Amino acid sequence: MEAWVEESARLTKPEKIVYCDGSEAENQAILQEMLKKGDSFRLNEKTYPNCYLHRSDPSDVARTEHLTFICTPNKEEVGPTNNWMDPEGAKFKIGKLLDGAMRGRTMYVVPYIMGPVDSPISKIGVEVTDSPYVVANMRIMCRMGKVAQDKLGSSKDFVPGLHSVGDLDPLRRYIAHFPEERLIWSVGSGYGGNALLGKKCFALRIASYMARQQGWMAEHMLILGLESPGGKVTYMAAAFPSACGKTNLAMMVSALESQGYKVWTVGDDIAWMKIGADGYLHAINPESGFFGVAPGTSRKTNPNVMDAVKSNAIFTNTGLTVENEPWWEGIGGEPPAGLITWRGEKWDPSKGVAAQPNSRYTVLARQSPSISPKWEAPEGVPISAFIFGGRRARLAPLVYQAFNWQHGVFVGATMASETTAATTGDVGVTRRDPMAMLPFCGYNMADYFEHWLEMGKKIPNPPKIFHVNWFRKGADGKFLWPGYGENVRVLKWILERVEGRGEARETPIGYVPTRTGLALDGLKISPEALDELFGVNGDDWESDLADSREFLAKFGEKLPSELRKEHEAVVGRFQKSVPA
């Protein structure tokens, strides 16, 4: 580790180097450094003890996919969905930006563990960074400092990540991955997935590359346990694209709690999974905190988050009230008098939103009342169901089940979602986002699909595969489904299907619950809304299937033939179901 730190220091030329031990004293010193920069503020000591608000540069508020690269000798290795640079060219170009980038600054060395300290599935990374904000966030998001240093010892088995905020100019911003060397270089951004290198860069892009080589899975999935009456807990993992509801599903307060259905949180964003001795796929959450979307979070939609973020939390780009409390759209109530926007201006209606739409909170996972007693189990939790989903105002029904693993892989590979504020660019544009991994797969997605198909053959008890859509809209443009805590009704049906129960009808896209199959007791929802939520419209699907055929064709000869066959099969089923 020291050798690599020295090499990084020779390139970036910091004024001093600080090895982080993860202690509370060190944390307080780092927070002071953060405050000194003038872009961070201490929040109300009474109502939000030890909480901070950080304002990022207005040009640096989301992941920048167009500036994210996978660097391999051969362009074909990254496939048609990734940005590519050759490793030598990338090192030359980005090396110039990193040369002297830390002059006059402190370089913090952050050793960290992704995963529970004693888990055989866990892995170690070392991030060097010139941002105290990054260090403060890493301390929440992963197990860092001495604990990681001790685990690593003198071993060279770690993923190095070099990060500098540079000058924050988007024209000089690169997030580069070198999967063969397991190396990450990031310059020019201080935001979330661009800068907290353990998260998307390591735990997804580099890890997905390693997982394929080594026969396991690294996925953009939440992990939850659904407790059913009698106390049995069934674990599920769900892949939804960024800002499409993973945190909220994993941390929900169940609307059916009085009936004995309760949700326990294991993870909210990433799952690392290996086949266990019992023949199930076992998942760990490599992270130790949540970096969650603030807007839309309220006492009503997600009381667990609201409780969790009351102390030791960092808020990024939210609004600020005169009471020195964080504020965002959807927190409940009208904008309070004297509200300050995420840019630090006095809010008035002409300013639009007070909180940046991708504003976030960073908080320790163990502060959530919903945290699962098994969340740090070294062997992980056995997964019985995979759930894919996204934002689709039309088309996709509330829930359906794939016929089998291979069909489920097809469902995941062709899933689509409307883009969100989590990534820089247009919002609300429908795009294909296979397994919610489009921006996170560290290699050619055709090979990734092949890996999924292969895993299906290797797992003795593979998870059953489902697709959900909380975001279908009616003609009035409003969501048809209440979502949040009510989503447990769908989880209950999924559990029943896993156990070989649960009423369903067969449709060309898979099994859809019958009207009596889904527990709707106590829910106010019109029969018309239900018709739409459960509808499988042949015309809509025909145009969607044309689009997914085109998407799959992008992979050319490399596309596994199974997926082409699944596509033909669903087209065939629609033709049969609609008499000419």
Compute the chain's Rg from CA coordinates. Answer: 23
Q: Is 296 in the site for ligand GTP (CB under 6 A)?
A: yes
Q: Which of 51, 71, 142, 244 is catalytic?
A: 244
Q: Is 292 in the site for ligand GTP (CB under 6 A)?
A: yes
Minimal distance, residue 533 CB to ligand GTP, in Å = 13
Tell me which residue of 99, 100, 103, 83 sits closest to 91, measured CA to CA.
Answer: 99
Total of chain residues touching ligand GTP, rule CB under 6 A: 22
Instruction: Give the ranges where 309-444 is alpha helix by DSSP (H).
Output: 405-413
Tokens (6 digits) for 381: 């939790």
Tokens (6 digits) for 563: 């997926």
Q: Is 54 in the site for ligand GTP (CB under 6 A)?
A: no
Measured distance CA(434)–CA(282) in Å, rounded: 22
Site for ligand GTP in 526-565 (CB under 6 A): none
CA dihedral defined by 330, 310, 223, 163, rounded to 10 degrees?
90
Nearer to ligand SPV (CB atom), residue 222 or residue 273:
222
Q: Is 387 in the site for ligand GTP (CB under 6 A)?
A: no
Which does residue 200 bind out of Mn ion, ligand GTP, ligand SPV, none, counting CB within 5 to 8 angstroms by kind? ligand SPV
Q: Is 544 in the site for Mn ion (CB under 5 A)?
A: no
Nearer to ligand GTP (CB atom), residue 384 or residue 420:
420
Minimal distance, residue 242 CB to Mn ion, in Å = 5
Minimal distance, residue 38 CB to ligand SPV, in Å = 23
Minimal distance, residue 106 CB to Mn ion, in Å = 29
SS3 466: strand
Nearer to Mn ion (CB atom), residue 269 or residue 325:
269
Minimal distance, residue 249 CB to ligand GTP, in Å = 7
Tokens (6 digits) for 202: 């390591």
Contact indicator for 253, 275 with CB cutoff of 8 Å: no
Contact indicator for 379, 119 with CB cutoff of 8 Å: yes
- 244 catalytic, yes or no? yes
Which does residue 199 bind out of Mn ion, ligand GTP, ligand SPV, none, counting CB within 5 to 8 angstroms by kind? ligand SPV
Measured distance CA(165)–CA(101) in Å, rounded: 8
Site for ligand GTP in 443-502 (CB under 6 A): 470, 479, 483-484, 487
Minimal distance, residue 62 CB to ligand SPV, in Å = 7
Measured distance CA(68)–CA(423) in Å, rounded: 11
Long-range CB contact pairs, 69-73, < 8 A, 24+: 69/174, 69/175, 69/176, 69/177, 70/177, 70/179, 70/205, 70/442, 70/443, 71/176, 71/177, 71/178, 71/179, 72/178, 72/179, 72/180, 72/443, 73/180
Which does residue 77 bind out of ligand SPV, ligand GTP, Mn ion, none, counting CB within 5 to 8 angstroms by kind? none
CA 188-190-196 angle, 5° bins: 115
Parallel/antiparallel/unpaired status of strands 16-19 and 106-114: parallel
Which residue in the shown chain puts its C-beta closest to ligand SPV?
193
Residues that bind ligand SPV (CB under 6 A): 63, 192-193, 199-200, 242, 269, 291, 422
SS3 33: helix
Binding mask 256-295 for Mn ion (x = CB under 5 A): -------------x--------------------------
Helix/strand/coil (H/E/C) assignment for every residue in 329-349: CCCCCCCCCCCECCCCCECCH
Nearer to ligand GTP (CB atom), residue 451 or residue 472:
472
Tokens (6 digits) for 205: 């892009």
Site for ligand GTP in 199-258 (CB under 6 A): 240, 242-248
Nearer to ligand SPV (CB atom), residue 148 or residue 270:
270
Site for Mn ion in 303-362 (CB under 5 A): none
Catalytic site positions: 244
Binding site for ligand GTP (CB under 6 A): 240, 242-248, 268-269, 292-293, 295-297, 301, 422, 470, 479, 483-484, 487
